A and B are shown apart, each in its own frame.
Chain A
């Protein structure tokens, strides 16, 4: 019965029933569905549901020690998001959020690449509506770009899965390497969702454009699902160590100059994923535990930070640092919760980030990887800069505020309160977190050496901040756009492609004239424009064409 019902599926079914449920009962119904789905957490380990179809054996529901911690935190995140959005009446967003969380939970329990692919695409198709819910023109454009990138990731995964089945006769989720062509396809598919360097543009492009509540939901699932998938199929892949290290260091510089605080948090999210990717790359029991622990605590404090910025957006109408400041007087609780989130992500001792990041740092230290160790140590100072200081400082302090705003609604405060409580509870009692990690490892994060070393790093980084502010060296906030890797498909490709596209069109025009078929006519018919000069090649569709052609070329190369 319920025991072999795929976890998360009940949430998806409920999301489709939401329109039939009266407004006041929608949130309780959503919570109930998450609760029912969470019953699966007590099922233990094993394979619970398989389906033989088209000669394939799909493993729809399996669970083991790697699945469980992710399943627990995904359920917690779903509950936090539902409470945080209790005040909202946006039905589409509620449906999308619940189905999105359900799909992500379903994906965790897939035992083969084809089932994973279905859930992989389901998370893309449901979450795009959450980006859409930002309800501005920029949000709608970003949503289309987001969809193209996410679906491309799914297509690559499908190509990889098909090649794997064709070449090995196996399609189960097993450990892969980069020596096989299907391994590379699957690696890139996961890499897109995990926001690897240069594949990360979609994240900072779309997340900050979503609604007050939507960004919180987005921050929890997609990227951590990718981390889970990488941890399952590519543990100990050396290249991940360097990829991860670059991910921790690079976004730091972008976050320093970004003006939109929710975009700063998106860069910071990218940087946090880097720590997890390094852990997967090392591939020891200790480091994989570190990755899982970090994903677990990260979901909570990142959600907390996005919630606090959501509350600021809801009350003050913007999250642009250049227009904020002095909110501590009007939103004292939000300020405190934000600071708790900031201290957790900065890995202050007694906060959750510390007990998780220590595992990864210790495994690096134990392996003697000195360069990577100090890149991550350096990135820790960067985390403190953008998430620990910049976010709370520019939103709540910086300078006095003239017009009043109200404190966040009670439901938001409750959701932030729960998240803040968890951040501290895990930091103070790490053994409960360590108990649910995939491998049984005895680890003590609170040694005098480690605490003093971390505190010195953080406190002197704060002193550096005070020093820079004192001597007016700290960069002031400027309303601006910071270029990121999405520039390649938002500006460069259309810049090259648009004139080329029209030129080729005009060339073929003369060829086809004899056939009575004009490129102009064809285009004007299909685009419903009467004149070529009106043809506007929109970025998403153009980027889409390019992506599809790249995918097609890759497929041809592999098949040949």
Chain B
């Protein structure tokens, strides 16, 4: 039991987040979401934007490591 604590927490967390995510998308169909810019009113636009931005940030950050990452004692040398 103890060994799987974090794992089971992660699993139930994932489950709830997915349920909430699905509900949010469904909610989008029940009313017209007013936005400042018309293209943002497409169904699920913020969700899509959030997902893509997040993946983009992490992937670009990971790639930037090539240029920006140095050893921990870089400035002491």
Chain B 6-42 interface mask (CB, 8 Å, partner A; 1/0): 1001100010011011001101100101111100100
Interchain CB contact under 8 A, B71 and A253: no
Interface mask (A482-521 → B, CB under 8 Å = 1, otherwise 0):
1100000011000000000000000000000000000000
A542 to chain B: closest CB distance in Å? 14
Q: Which residues of B contact A381 (CB under 8 A)?
A: 49-50, 53-54, 57
Of B27, B52, B65, which is within 8 A of A257 by CB?
B65
Q: Which residues of B contact A459 (CB under 8 A)?
A: 17, 20-21, 24, 47, 50
Closest beta carbon of chain B to A324's beta carbon, Å: 13
* In the complex, residue of chain A having the shortest beta-carbon distance to the beta carbon of B44: A456
A462 touches which of B5, B17, B68, B71 (Cβ 8 Å): B17
Given contacts A256-B57, A463-B21, contact A452 B74 (CB under 8 A): no
- Is A454 a contact partner of B58 (Cβ separation < 8 A)? no
Interface size of A in residues (CB-CB distance below 8 Å): 56
- Bound CA span A465–B50, Å: 11
CA distance A55 to B66 in the complex (A): 58
Query: Does B60 sit at the interface, judged by CB under 8 A?
Result: yes
Q: Does A326 contact B (CB under 8 A)?
A: yes
Assess whether A446 is interfacial by the CB under 8 Å rule: no
A560 touches B (CB below 8 Å)? no
Q: Which of B28, B34, B52, B71 contacts A481 (CB 8 A)?
A: B71
Closest to B67 in A: A483
Given the complex, which residues of B lie within 8 Å of A253, measured CB to CB? 57, 60-61, 64
**A-side contacts of B51, CB under 8 Å:** 460-461, 463-464
Given A253-B60, A456-B28, A456-B46 in contact, is the A478-B69 Cβ separation under 8 Å?
yes
Contact between B31 and A448 (Cβ–Cβ < 8 Å)? yes
CB-defined contacts of A86 to chain B, threshold 8 Å = none
Tally of B interface residues using CB under 8 Å: 51
Q: State whether B35 touches A449 (Cβ < 8 A).
A: yes
Q: Is the CB of B50 within 8 A of A257?
A: no
User: Which residue on chain B has the smallest CB distance to residue A322?
Assistant: B72
B17 and A466 contacting across the interface, CB-CB below 8 Å: yes
Residue of A nearest to B76 (CB): A138
Which B residues touch A465, using CB under 8 A? 54
Which B residues lie within 8 Å of A64 (CB)?
none
Please state if B6 and A257 are interface contacts (CB–CB under 8 Å). no
- Contact string against B for A residues 360-379, beta-carbon threshold 8 Å, 1 for contact and 0 otherwise: 00101110101001100110
A residues less than 8 Å from B73 (CB atoms)? 481
A411 to chain B, nearest CB (A): 29
Asked whether any CB of chain B lies closer than 8 Å to the CB of A22, the reply is: no
List the B side residues contacting A460 at CB < 8 Å. 21, 46-48, 50-51, 54
Q: A385-B54, A452-B33, A475-B65 are in contact. List 13 more A-B contacts (CB 8 A).
A: A253-B60, A253-B64, A254-B61, A257-B68, A384-B54, A400-B3, A452-B46, A455-B24, A460-B47, A468-B55, A475-B58, A475-B61, A490-B75
Interface residues of A (CB under 8 A from B): 138, 252-257, 326, 329, 362, 364-366, 368, 370, 373-374, 377-378, 381-382, 384-385, 397, 399-400, 448-449, 452-468, 473-475, 478-483, 490-491
* CB pairs A–B below 8 angstroms (16 shown): A138-B76, A252-B61, A257-B68, A385-B54, A399-B6, A448-B33, A452-B33, A453-B33, A461-B54, A475-B58, A475-B62, A475-B65, A480-B71, A481-B70, A482-B70, A483-B69
Minimum-distance CB pairs A-B, first 6: A256-B61, A365-B36, A464-B54, A457-B50, A381-B53, A456-B46
